[in-house]
Chain A
């Protein structure tokens, strides 16, 4: 249950009473209904509840945020989700490593010219 007695976003979405020990209420506030809607669409409410319950309480906020992030990206990109971001980062790393090797080779070339 939210402060003030209102239902959290999850219980509103699921059209049920929001108990005082609702596993969702701390991480899915009523003022952000899309956040729960997305994780429910991708993972399902019971999977999210199970995942949160299996974690110590001090880690649940981070877990809810990362689930929300992944769900948002899966909704935006139904084929790759956030794995698309990982692919792009790998590509950026490869490009940066190639550029760095090229620049270092040029630099060594300059330095050798100075030394000679």
Chain B
């Protein structure tokens, strides 16, 4: 730290803040909560070890992700970040299903409109019938995804997003 002002880490750990303190660039004294939460979840010596094993230009990103994980773990002591991952995976699945439905509907309309393409045996389009999309209402069978309340089954049982 510049001058004699210790960084947030050294203040919390009650030690002298050396000129080459590994924490100082990432845990300024004006944000004591940032180091406190990382220390609570990972421990100062583990964080120090992790940072020392990284090249300097990657340490800021590493600290940001550690702070994110620590905050998630304090907010949700059971699932931490894993809860957020499960929720987002469900969102991706639902969007992909909505997209598949929209693309299928478009293909259906295209096939009905294009005289060159061989049309399958389907009933004539009723001009008064609008596709489900316009009614903002997906068919129910596309809505039954694994609920995020059962994180273990929907999450730990299969591979993560690569």
Contact = CB atoms under 8 A, between A and B. Distances in A.
Interface of A: 41-44, 46-47, 51, 54-55, 59, 62-63, 65-67, 69-70, 74, 78-86, 88-90, 92-93, 96-97, 99-100, 103-104, 106-108, 110-111, 113-115
Q: How large is the interface on B (under 10, 10 to 19, 20 to 34, 35 or more residues)?
A: 35 or more
A79 B58 contact: yes
Given A79-B62, A114-B109, 18 more contacts: A41-B46, A44-B42, A44-B46, A63-B77, A66-B80, A78-B54, A79-B54, A81-B69, A89-B85, A89-B88, A89-B89, A100-B98, A104-B133, A110-B110, A111-B109, A111-B130, A113-B113, A114-B127
B147 interface: no
Given A42-B42, A65-B152, A97 B95 contact: yes
B91 A93 contact: yes
B48 to A, nearest CB: 12
B69 A82 contact: yes
